[in-house]
Amino acid sequence: MKELCLTLHILLATLWVGGMLFMVIVLIPYIRKLPDNIHIIKSVGIRYSVAGTFIGLPLLFITGLCNMNAMGISFFSLFTMPNSNPYLLTLKHKIYLFFLTFILAVIHDLYLGLRSDQNPKYRITARIVGLANLLIGIAIVYLAVKLRFGGWNRTKIYF
């Protein structure tokens, strides 16, 4: 069961971060050349927000809880344990960034993105929030990799 939960977690993280990378690197530069590009980007963003934000992120949280449980860590006890354990400290940082990315995604998708065709200020702010969310997502992936190697910086490299 824990293998299935971790596999789903990785696939959902791939959907979230990979989808944002695809839009930034491939889709949006291409769409910007098309007429009516603002409405096209908005339509694509709405479709992605359903899959990424409103389905993907809650499932990421659930599979994350499942993974923590498989490691013998409960969600609430995580916040009462001392910060002296590097693994738990890294996990806390990952969870804090997850909550931040979720909040930013909801603001982006339900407020800024829906108004991006009305006003350049909304469009620019939506871009900034979207880029910040991408960078936070990459930081979360980094912390996940760090957790895989014990949650702290090691000097020895394993291949």
- Write the pLDDT tens digit of every residue in 98-133: 999 999 999 999 999 999 889 999 999 999 999 999
Query: For the chain, how many structural domains are there in total?
Result: 1
In the numeric block, the tokens 């960034």 are attached to 97
In the numeric block, the tokens 């908005």 are attached to 42
Whole-angstrom distance, CA of residue 11 vs CA of residue 4: 11
Mean pLDDT across the stretch 64-69? 94
Whole-angstrom distance, CA of residue 24 vs CA of residue 20: 6
Confidence category of residue 153, pLDDT binned at 50, 70, 90 = low
Please report whether residue 159 resides in a domain.
no
Q: Retrieve residue 87's tokens.
A: 């693994």
Q: Retrieve residue 93's tokens.
A: 């940082």
Please report whether residue 41 resides in a domain.
yes
The amino acid present at 130, given as its one-letter code, is G
Tell me: pLDDT of 60 over 60.
yes
Please report whether residue 154 resides in a domain.
no
Q: Report which of 132, 53, 147 is spatially closest to residue 97, judged by C-alpha positions.
A: 132
Please report whether residue 158 resides in a domain.
no
Whole-angstrom distance, CA of residue 140 vs CA of residue 50: 21
Are the beta carbons of 76 and 132 closer than 8 angstroms? no
Mean pLDDT across the stretch 137-159? 75
Please report whether residue 42 resides in a domain.
yes
Q: Report which of 74, 78, 59 is spatially closest to residue 7, judged by C-alpha positions.
A: 59
Please report whether residue 129 resides in a domain.
yes
